[in-house]
Amino acid sequence: MRVQEPLPIEHYAMIGDRSTAALVGRDGSIDWLCLPHFDSHACFAALLGDRRNGHWRIGPAGPATTTRRYLPGSLVLETTHETASGTVRVTDAMPTGDDRADVVRIVEGVAGEVEMEQELVVRFGYGSVPPWVRRVRDRGEEVLVAIAGPDRLVLRGAPLPRSAQHAHRGTFAVRAGERFVLDLCWQHSWLPIAEPVGEPEVVATTVAESAEWLAELDYDGPYLEAVQSSVLVLRALTDEATGGILAAPTTSLPEEPGGVRNWDYRFTWLRDASLTVDAMLAVRLVERVGLWRDWLLRAIAGDPQDMRIMYRRDGGRDLLERELPHLPGYGGARPVRIGNGAADQRQHDVLGQVMLTLQRLRELGIADSHDSWHMQRALLDELATHWREPDHGLWEMRGEPQLFTHSRAMMWAAFDCGVRAVEGGCDGDASRWAELRDALREEVLTRGFDESTGSFRQHYGTSDVDASLLQLPTIGIVEPTDPRFLGTIARIEQELLVDGLPLRYRTTGLDGLPGDEHPFVLCGFWLVSAYAQAGRIDDATALMDRLVALRNDVGLLAEEIDPTTGRHWGNFPQAFSHLGLVLAATDLERARSSADGA
């Protein structure tokens, strides 16, 4: 298949119903949509191929100047196309619904007259399975029905496109004051066709529901708009039914043009989910925290030795990694992968992050249930049996396991949280945990520190530095003004910054993969927090300003950014990037308040 030049990743926006999400391009094309869930097969996969792999475009037939925004307090997308003959507005929304998923697209004439094009290509099975498509009458109107196995899509509204060369296409004129509505609804193919979604109310209801949730946000510091848009992204990536928190809604968007570092992020990493909860707690959005804790209990249930680093959104463990050779990849970046082989890795930092989050819940007065504390005790006792072993680390290195300094510090945090929980009234004998906590702290501060460079090191067998070390004060194992940590910041500035933005690490080391990557957005926000905690408020503000400015036109961030071109790379939008923004903003606000009160 010939590879077409793709839209830049930053030219997409996300809409979603908290069960799945779609990516909508500036050209009006929905190029990625998995139905009915985030980790289901895609029915629109043009993002990783071309239009023949499935898309749904509604946009001007000719040149247009395009602007976009989300309706206030929501992820309902409003796109305005201005042409030589007139102006048209397209509103895209995904309302929530039981046993169905809808994409509603409303086309409104604003001024003059605009010729619009519509093309619908449905390909189930990640762009490989053409459906049986036919026109039928339902409730007195003609609808388009596409069926393949268990999946059915029904397109209703006007104007419906017509069959043409393995696609459905049509053109229609939109004059000022005119309004056209189309609703694409997914259901299981054996169910009766669902009733219309209730178009007149759907956008207002979707916006109101989102805005009501956002009104609970307790934050009035700097970068408020960016914080608000980021928590809306995190909410959209949280499965409404199960509580599983997704890392991203996409798979295989590359970390560099034509690269092979292409991974499936449509799963729930324990670490990422815990950090997402931390971000929500930082701005007092606590309403659904219990849902995440319940998800955690279900996912980890069983033998503590079997704890995984990631699960499916429903807690399932089938994440077998495989490649899809029929898709050429974004811009020709192969392979396209589904599933994630890193699920089988040992990563010691994960339990530490989970325990830190559960400790924060206790500090906010959200007490452990009997089952949640029993789970934590079992996991800590299990960690105590293999704490000396190396691991693959936060960055899921596919080389040989190592004694990573960040992982060792996070194990210290896990045992420290357990000790503090018992001291705070939870039942159990914490003496063994206290011994291991103290041993790990001594180990990290000696073996994890490189006297010759004056900084902490990536792992005990190297002098290389790693951006994860920026988290050491947040973890609590060192003070942010400790000379050893200040030396670590200096080395990261010297060795990892690319045009002022930090890489995770130098890829010439032990990650076991060819190719390179761009600065990692989360690490940029970690550096903001490190600057703020160390009292370098001007530096923190300057970097925060720059990172916030690198968001796309609707406030979204991918995993990585090329600072030279501003291009976004990696899966999109990325929970890591958005939770990092929220936590950096609150860290900076705290540092400013402390400085003002000094």
**Looking at residues 374-403, what average pLDDT do you find?**
92
Confidence band (pLDDT; 50, 70, 90) for 242?
very high
Does residue 200 carry a pLDDT above 80? no
Contact indicator for 496, 514 with CB cutoff of 8 Å: no
pTM (two decimals) = 0.96
Confidence band (pLDDT; 50, 70, 90) for 236?
very high
In 3-state terms, what secondary structure has residue 144? Answer: strand
CA 222 to chain centre: 23
Confidence band (pLDDT; 50, 70, 90) for 399?
confident
Within 381-526, strands assigned E span: 449-450, 455-456, 497-498, 501-502
In this predicted model, what pLDDT tens digit does every residue of 88-134 receive, in sequence order?
Answer: 999 999 998 777 899 999 999 999 999 999 999 999 999 999 999 99
Check residues 5 and 414 and name the one with the higher pLDDT: 414
* pLDDT of 276: 97
Residue 549 exposed, middle or buried by CB count within 10 Å (0-12, 13-18, 19+): exposed
What tokens does 354 get? Answer: 């989970």
One-letter amino acid at 520 equals F
**Looking at residues 288-308, what average pLDDT do you find?**
87
Helix H or strand E segment including 65: strand 65-70
Q: Where are the alpha helices (DSSP H) in 145-243?
A: 199-214, 224-236
Read out DSSP for 315-347? S------EE-TT---GGG----EES-GGGGS--
One-letter amino acid at 407 equals S
Contact indicator for 251, 338 with CB cutoff of 8 Å: yes
Contact indicator for 188, 150 with CB cutoff of 8 Å: yes
The sign of the dihedral angle between the CA atoms of 268, 412, 287, 548 is negative
Does residue 10 carry a pLDDT above 90? yes
**Looking at residues 349-362, what average pLDDT do you find?**
95
Least confident of 73-87, 168-182, 503-517, 525-539: 503-517
Burial 405-436 (b: 16+ CB within 10 A, else e): bbbbbbbbbbbbbbbbbbeeebebebeebbeb
In 3-state terms, what secondary structure has residue 424? Answer: coil
The two beta strands, 55-60 and 101-121, are antiparallel
Does residue 146 carry a pLDDT above 90? yes
In the numeric block, the tokens 């001594």 are attached to: 442
CA within 13 Å, CB half, 3: 15
Q: Mean pLDDT across the chain, nearest whole number?
A: 94
In this predicted model, what pLDDT tens digit does every residue of 435-480 receive, in sequence order?
Answer: 999 999 999 999 999 999 999 999 999 999 999 999 999 999 999 9
Crossing angle between the packed helical segments 349-363 and 270-282, to the nearest 10 degrees: 30
* pLDDT of 2: 43
Domain definitions of the chain by residue range? 9-192, 346-512
* pLDDT of 1: 37
Contact indicator for 337, 136 with CB cutoff of 8 Å: no
* pLDDT of 511: 64
Least confident of 153-162, 191-200, 261-270: 191-200
* pLDDT of 332: 96
Q: What is the CATH number of domain 346-512?
A: 1.50.10.10
Helix H or strand E segment including 223: none
* pLDDT of 509: 59
**Looking at residues 24-32, what average pLDDT do you find?**
98
* pLDDT of 198: 74
**Looking at residues 242-247, what average pLDDT do you find?**
96
What tokens does 174 get? Answer: 């939109």
Burial 243-259 (b: 16+ CB within 10 A, else e): bbbbbbbbbbbbbbeeb
Does residue 598 carry a pLDDT above 80? no
Domain 9-192 of CATH type 2.70.98.10 = yes
Does residue 510 carry a pLDDT above 90? no
